[in-house]
Amino acid sequence: MDKYERERYQKKKERALRRRKRQQRQLIIMISIVLLLVLILILLLVLRKKKVFAREESQYLAEIPVYYSLIDAREVSKDEVGAAIQGYYDRQFYSRFKVGGAYLTDQNDNVLYEKDAHARIYPASTTKLMTTVLALERTSDLDALITVKELYGCYDDPESMLLYLEEGDQISMRDLLYALLTESYNDCACAIAMEVAGSIEAFADLMNQRAAELGMNDTHYMNPHGLYDPDHYTSAYDLNRLVRKVYTLDVFRELEQTYSRTITIYRWGEPMELTIDNSSFFLNGDYAVPGLKFEGGKTGYIDESLSSYGSVFTGNGNTYYCAILHSVDGPYMTNLLLDYILAPDAMKELLEMDPYLALWYENYDY
């Protein structure tokens, strides 16, 4: 190996050595960064569990789930913490609670919440609560078979819910009411109307008369089922009145608490059995309010007024009557409202709020 080859070899060796040292430094830096990130993560986890508020404020917040700790430890008053948290929850509730009308009362008729309670809105199938009231008030034997008359006025909407009753079918009023309240069949509403009053028009007159007697001054009915008619409307206040009335009827409460029922239709003398399940979101546990029991309710939906819901709950030695009109989801809005008024801790858990975040929002721009 001559002189020049030795120099080239030596330079190549030096470059390889520098490359190895550079790689070692990079590896050390990467390991250091990873260790630092791990330490930071551990520190954050420790701080997350740490009570960052002084003295009794820590105990005050201990029962509320904490998801992020964004505020440095500092002295704050208990009132400041409470006001900030409640203000944040208020904003969260009102940002989600979008309804055309709402009215919530207790058994003593105390108003717990109202919003545009007298706005006239299409009631959709909550109309069937009035149909139920008249059927129960004007039928002496609910289990006697009635003969279905020629039906009309329930096929106007291609999406109309139908049991597909035919003229001459025989069915009990109790079975009609169960199908009416659980699956909202519009031909069942018409069959009830024809049996009670002889015609849809005569039954609508009875509905309006009964509404006036119940003080439902913002209501006018044109049919027994709630399919759209520009002269068919109610208000959240009036729906609340109606819910209060229908809840006093034992059969309504019985049917609303029935999970499944097999109804019988006699066609040409031959029995046809159909099992109908109660699709109530609250009865089935899809929605729930801690401490309250669902007693009954009726949903309604039409394109012109979206989703509505009239319902009754009991709990805490009280009875609560709730009416929701024109929302994207009547049962959900009912759940949200009852949580907000009667079970705020459940609402806080539902919304996954953070008291520290609440204070952050109160005291800093965002």
Structure confidence by residue, pLDDT tens digits, 15-54: 667 777 777 888 888 888 888 888 887 776 655 444 333 3
Q: Residue 21 has what pLDDT?
A: 78
Establish how many alpha carbons lie within 13 A of residue 280's alpha carbon, considering only the half-sphere containing its beta carbon: 29
Per the rule left: phi > 0, alpha: psi between -120 and 50, beta: everything else, 164 is left
Average pLDDT over residues 254-282: 93
Residues with catalytic roles: 125, 128, 184
Average pLDDT over residues 266-274: 94
How distant, in Å, are the alpha carbons of 106, 209, 248 from that of 252?
19, 21, 8
Range with the poorest average pLDDT among 22-36, 126-140, 154-168, 197-211: 22-36
Is the pLDDT at 68 greater than 70? The verdict is no
Q: Residue 211 has what pLDDT?
A: 98
Looking at the structure, give the CATH architecture of the domain made up of residues 99-327: 3-Layer(aba) Sandwich (3.40)
The H or E element spanning position 337 is helix 330-342
Are 262 and 175 in contact, with CB atoms under 8 Å apart?
Answer: no
Using only C-alpha atoms, the chain has a radius of gyration, in whole angstroms, of 32
Is the pLDDT at 254 greater than 80? The verdict is yes
The SS3 of residue 277 is strand
The DSSP secondary-structure symbol of 52 reads -
Q: Which of these, 302, 309, 304, 303, lies nearest to 336 by C-alpha position?
A: 309
Counting residues of the chain whose pLDDT is more than 70, the rounded percentage is: 79
Q: Residue 222 has what pLDDT?
A: 98
The SS3 of residue 286 is coil
Q: Residue 3 has what pLDDT?
A: 52
Range with the poorest average pLDDT among 4-8, 63-67, 201-205, 229-233: 63-67
| Domain range annotation of the chain | 1-36, 99-327
Q: Residue 180 has what pLDDT?
A: 96
Q: Residue 58 has what pLDDT?
A: 42
DSSP string, 54-103: -THHHHHHTTS------S-SB---HHHHHHHHHHHHHHHHHHH---SEEE
The token pair that represents 173 in the structure block = 């009023």
The token pair that represents 270 in the structure block = 């031959």
Q: Residue 6 has what pLDDT?
A: 55
Determine the Cα–Cα distance for residues 5 and 316; give it in Å rounded to an integer. 97
CB atoms within 10 A of CB 219: 25
Determine the Cα–Cα distance for residues 61 and 52; give it in Å rounded to an integer. 10
Return the bridge partners of 171, or none.
146
Over the range 59-73, which residues count as b (16 or more CB within 10 Å of their CB) and which as e?
A: eebeeeebeebebee
The token pair that represents 171 in the structure block = 């069915």
Per the rule left: phi > 0, alpha: psi between -120 and 50, beta: everything else, 285 is left
Torsion angle of C-alpha atoms 282, 286, 287, 290, degrees rounded to 10: 90
* Residues 6+ positions from 128 with CB-CB distance below 8 Å: 180, 181, 184, 189, 224, 225, 226, 298, 300
187 phi and psi, to 5 degrees?
A: -70, -25
